[in-house]
Chains A and B, each alone.
Chain A
Amino acid sequence: MDQLLQHVVNMLVLGGTYALLGIGLTLIFGIMNVVNFTHGILYTFGAYMMFIVVHQLGLNFFLALPVAIVAGWLLGAAIEITLLRPLRGADIDTTMLVMIGAWIAMQSGALWIWGGVAKSIDNPFPDAPLVIGPVSVSWLRLFVLFAAALLIVLAYSLINLTKLGKAMRATFQDSDTAALMGVNVSLIYTSTFAIGSSLAAAAGALLGPVYVVFPQMGDLAAVKAFAIVILGGLGNITGAVIGGFILALAEELGAGYVSSGYRDAMGFLIIIMVLIFKPTGLFARAERVG
């Protein structure tokens, strides 16, 4: 029982960041229909920004977080403007190839700038964990959970409650009509990609201090993000959040009670199951056909 409780607490902490990764990608992959292979590298980028701000600029840990998010936003916008804008209207495969190229180039760039050796980021939280009965969790991870929850709520409100969110949804439903209604479609594409990217960078900035930072750290994260998006249904923000927690739960319980060697395989198992039994994702709404 104690062990199960510990697994559930671990799941909550892990699930929060998975959800953050998932909603970032579902915006880009699900709504913009861009198979975004740079999502993982944006995650890596967020973590390195955190490292630079905390260790090289010597600024405060809590200040570093928004800096990393803004940097992720800017990099995302730059990718959209330079790579995706000229390709608008191109088929999904072409865009995908370009994104794979961008991923490889950026990962090699990270390797070139920061080297392959992992870096660790200091944090201001106490080393001793918070212990409640049989369950124990580090303060840093609790902070990560709350920060992730806050960012998820912010992203959700931005998309569902603001005018920008409405314009985004309109654009991806029918960009011609949206343009006729006076929506600046180009701007919407750029902002959506930038917001999705900044969420990936935020996840990286939050998890960088929890783990260690190295150029390939985003690869596994990106695979998990795709699993979450498929699980939750393309473009479904709520689905991505729930999907993130389901993946975390599957990993925790899979490692705890089945076999730890297959922990990271759980995500792929879920993708296979979902694609067989409910290909539109667990939480997809009925789609209009024709």
Chain B
Amino acid sequence: MIRTIKAASATALAIAFLSSAATAQTIKIGVNEPLTGAFAASGTYVVNGAKIAADEINAKGGLLGKKIELVIEDNKSNPTEAAAVAEKLITRDKTPVMLGAWGSSLTLAVMPKLVEYETAMVVETSSASKITTSGNPYVFRISPPSFVEAAAFKNIVDKLALKKVDFLVINNDWGRGTAEDFSKMMKEKGITIGLVETMDQSAQDMSAQLAKIKATDSETVIITAAVDQLTLIFKQAAALGLKKRIITTGGSQNPDQIIAQAGAAANDTMHLTTFLPWMPEKTPNPEATTYFIGEWKKRGFDFAGCTESFRGYDGIRTIAAAIEKAGKAEPAAIKDALWKIDVKGLNGDIVFKKSGPAGSESGQSFPNVYLVEIAGGKIVMKDL
């Protein structure tokens, strides 16, 4: 019996050594995204975008003479899982840097782990302002926080002649944070804020909230949710005969998917997005955008996913640039190097600026924000 145990443990040790020797040949990058649950569609798009970047880098010879390897884990759209996934990626897979975690609540749950293990994470999608203002020096965000979205939207408020606005937001850090930032901006503009209604992230029936909103005297509804929930909201709003102007925020709307799934119900809705895959010539780096969209189509992915997936692509390219600059794949060196990079992102240059309390600033890059409208089943850009 004892001999068996000895033999078994020797074998286990040998396997452990062999596998660690094998992994040293690659540079690992942790990817912490929702592949199941309420945000499955979006998380999957981001991962597919990340894979395109990894393949592109590896095809050009990799980094520091090694191939990069994405270690992809599913955080199940659940903050508890997101924190556990981060811990697993850092301690077991020994990833020196991570990309994640899509939703604001997911990212916020991961953040204490980053401090605990002194490992940086590039945040690709989350938009709650407090992610980069709470004094976590391991967070580097490439998506716009909701106050940046609100500031961009400020310019168009007069053109749209907004008077009274209701909110319908997802009941988490993302939704509530957006309602807060937009309300603040609108109050300064003299716009009345009516109802602020919330919905659970997994809710499928928003008829009650919409019936309540239908009964108010506001002319516009600002909606913050991911694409699957938006589709349902548009259908249910149409079924209830809700005739208010709808504007969505957050950059996770995938307008093409909305058109495909909500049909006529999507007409005349407006969306604040962070990418323009429909008009590559209007993006800051047309060449890179055209390459990315071409690659996305070549792999047979749904075009609708481009508005999400470009963030995974940009996120991995950001991380790769930092590793290159650091000259070694070690957590502390990569974190320092993230401050020094300048990447030609698909939605503007990625350069991190200091954000949050002095001494423990987070990195925040400021990408562009666009307003598009769905008109007659087509996407039209509105000038901001």
Contacts and interface: CB of A to CB of B under 8 A. Distances in A.
B161 interface: no
B254 to A, nearest CB: 11
Interface in B236-257: 238-241
B212 A116 contact: no
A149 B36 CA distance: 33
A101 B92 CA distance: 27
Contacts of A216: 36-37, 202
B208 A256 contact: yes
Contacts of A215: 36
Contact of A212 (B36, B204, B207, B214): B204
A118 B238 contact: no
A214 B43 CA distance: 14
Contact of A120 (B198, B231, B238): B231
B208 A220 contact: no
A116 B264 CA distance: 26
B40 A261 contact: no
B238 A2 contact: no
A3 B212 contact: yes
B228 interface: yes
Interface stretch (A81-89, A129-137, A155-163): A129-137
Interface stretch (A6-14, A34-42, A193-201): A6-14
A212 B40 CA distance: 13
B263 interface: yes
A162 B261 CA distance: 43
A216 B40 CA distance: 11
Contact of B208 (A118, A211, A255): A255
B122 interface: no
Interface residues of A, number: 37
B340 to A, nearest CB: 37
Interface in A250-266: 251-252, 254-256, 259-261, 263-264
A214 B40 CA distance: 9
B37 A263 contact: no
A276 B319 CA distance: 55
Contact of B228 (A118, A219, A251): A118
A261 B41 contact: no
A127 interface: yes
A275 interface: no
Contact of B198 (A116, A117, A261): A261
Contacts of B232: 211-212
A138 interface: yes
Interface in B176-209: 197-200, 202-205, 207-209
Contacts of B228: 118, 212, 214
Contacts of B212: 3, 255-256, 260
A141 interface: yes
B231 A212 contact: yes
A217 interface: yes
B32 to A, nearest CB: 15
A111 interface: yes
Contact of B240 (A136, A259, A260): A136
A136 B208 contact: no
Contacts of B202: 216, 219-220
Given A3-B214, A120-B261, A129 B240 contact: yes
Contact of A116 (B40, B215, B235): B40
A138 B239 contact: yes
B208 A252 contact: yes
Interface string A101-137: 0000000000100011110100000010101000011
B215 A2 contact: yes
A136 B200 contact: no
A251 B209 CA distance: 10
Given A116-B37, A117-B41, A264-B200, A136 B209 contact: no
B101 to A, nearest CB: 16
A137 B44 contact: no
Contact of A260 (B35, B36, B40, B199): B199
B239 A129 contact: yes
Contacts of A217: 204
22 contacts: A3-B212, A6-B214, A7-B211, A111-B36, A115-B44, A116-B35, A118-B41, A118-B228, A127-B265, A129-B240, A137-B239, A138-B238, A214-B228, A215-B36, A216-B202, A219-B202, A252-B207, A252-B211, A254-B208, A260-B199, A261-B198, A264-B200
Given A3-B212, A120-B231, 20 more contacts: A3-B215, A6-B215, A6-B240, A10-B208, A116-B40, A117-B40, A117-B41, A117-B44, A127-B264, A129-B238, A129-B239, A129-B241, A136-B241, A137-B239, A211-B232, A212-B231, A212-B232, A216-B37, A254-B208, A263-B208
